[in-house]
Chains A and B, each alone.
Chain A
Amino acid sequence: MKCMVCDREAVEKYCEFHEKAYRNVVQKFEDWKRATGVSWKQYLEAVLENSFTGAWAKEVAEQLLSEIE
Chain B
Amino acid sequence: MGAPMKKYTLIITEKPDAAKRIAEALDRQGKPKKLKENGVPYFVANRDRELVVVPAIGHLYTIVQERGKRNYYPVFNFKWAPRHLAERSAKNIRMWVETFSKLSHDADEFVSACDYDIEGSLIGYCILKYACGGKEDSAKRMKFSTLMKSELEKAYEQPLPHLDFALIEAGRTRHEVDWLYGINLSRALTLAAHRWSGRYSTLSTGRVQGPTLQFLTKREKAIRSFVPTPYWEINAEAEILNSVVEAEYETKRIEIKVEADAVVEACAGKTGEATKVDIRTVHEKPPIPFDVGTLQREAYSLFGYTPRRTLAIAQRLYLDALISYPRTSSQKLPPIIDYKEILSSLKRKPAYSKLASKLLEKEELKPREGAKEDPAHPAVYPTGKLPEKPLGVPEKRIWDLIVRRFMAVFGEEALKESLKVHLDVNGHSFFLRGRRILREGWMEYYKPYVRAEEVLLPPIKEGDKIRLRRVSREDKFTCPQPRYNPASLLKKMEKLGIGTKATRAEIIQTLYNRGYVRDERIVVTELGFDVIDVLGKYAPMVTSAKLTQELEGKMEQIQNNRVKRETVLEEVIEQLKPQLEQFKQNEEPIGEALTKAIKKAQTQERIVGKCPNCGTGNLTIIYSRKTRKRFIGCSNYFKGLCTTSFPLPQRGTVKPAGNNCRACGWPQVLVWIRGRRPWRLCFNPDCPLKSRRKKP
Verify B225–A17 contact, CB threshold 8 A. Answer: yes
**Could you say which of A17, A21, A27, A52 contacts B228, with CB atoms under 8 Å apart?**
A52
Q: Bound complex: CA of A54 vs CA of B479, how far in Å?
A: 10
Verify B257–A21 contact, CB threshold 8 A. Answer: no
Within 8 A of B (CB), among A10-64: 17, 20-21, 24-25, 27-28, 31-32, 34-36, 47, 50, 52-57
For B475-488 the 0/1 string (1 means CB < 8 A from A) is: 00111100000000
Question: Which size bracket describes the interface of B in this complex?
Answer: 10 to 19
* Contact of A53 with B227 at beta-carbon distance under 8 Å, contacts A34-B256, A35-B256, A35-B257 already known: yes
- Nearest CB of chain B from residue A43's CB, rounded to whole Å: 10
Q: Bound complex: CA of A55 vs CA of B483, how far in Å?
A: 14
Verify B255–A35 contact, CB threshold 8 A. Answer: yes
**Could you say which of B225, B256, B257, B477 contacts A54, with CB atoms under 8 Å apart?**
B225
Point out which of B223, B228, B231 has the most chain A C-beta atoms below 10 A from its C-beta.
Answer: B228
Point out which of A24, A32, A54, A55 has the most chain B C-beta atoms below 10 A from its C-beta.
Answer: A54
Verify B224–A56 contact, CB threshold 8 A. Answer: yes
Q: Does B226 contact A (CB under 8 A)?
A: yes
Verify B227–A35 contact, CB threshold 8 A. Answer: no
**Could you say which of A17, A21, A28, A57 contacts B229, with CB atoms under 8 Å apart?**
A28
Verify A54–B229 contact, CB threshold 8 A. Answer: no
- Nearest CB of chain B from residue A47's CB, rounded to whole Å: 6
Q: Bound complex: CA of A52 vs CA of B477, how far in Å?
A: 8
* Contact of A24 with B255 at beta-carbon distance under 8 Å, contacts A52-B477, A52-B478 already known: no
Which residues in A have their C-beta under 8 angstroms from that of B231? 35
Verify A17–B227 contact, CB threshold 8 A. Answer: no
Nearest B-chain residue to A16, judged by Cβ: B533
Q: Bound complex: CA of A18 vs CA of B313, how far in Å?
A: 43
Verify B255–A28 contact, CB threshold 8 A. Answer: no
Nearest B-chain residue to A25, judged by Cβ: B227
Q: Bound complex: CA of A36 vs CA of B224, how far in Å?
A: 24
Nearest B-chain residue to A27, judged by Cβ: B227
- Nearest CB of chain B from residue A16's CB, rounded to whole Å: 8
* Contact of A21 with B225 at beta-carbon distance under 8 Å, contacts A35-B257, A36-B257, A50-B477 already known: yes
Q: Does B154 contact A (CB under 8 A)?
A: no
A-B contact pairs, 11 of them (CB 8 A): A21-B227, A31-B229, A34-B255, A35-B230, A52-B479, A52-B480, A54-B226, A55-B224, A56-B224, A57-B226, A57-B227
The chain A residues found within 8 Å of chain B, CB to CB, are 17, 20-21, 24-25, 27-28, 31-32, 34-36, 47, 50, 52-57
Q: Give me 4 other A-B pairs in contact (C-beta within 8 A), A17-B529, A52-B228 excluded.
A: A24-B226, A34-B255, A50-B228, A52-B480
The 5 closest A-B pairs by CB, nearest first: A21-B225, A54-B224, A52-B228, A54-B226, A28-B227
The chain B residues found within 8 Å of chain A, CB to CB, are 221-231, 255-257, 477-480, 529
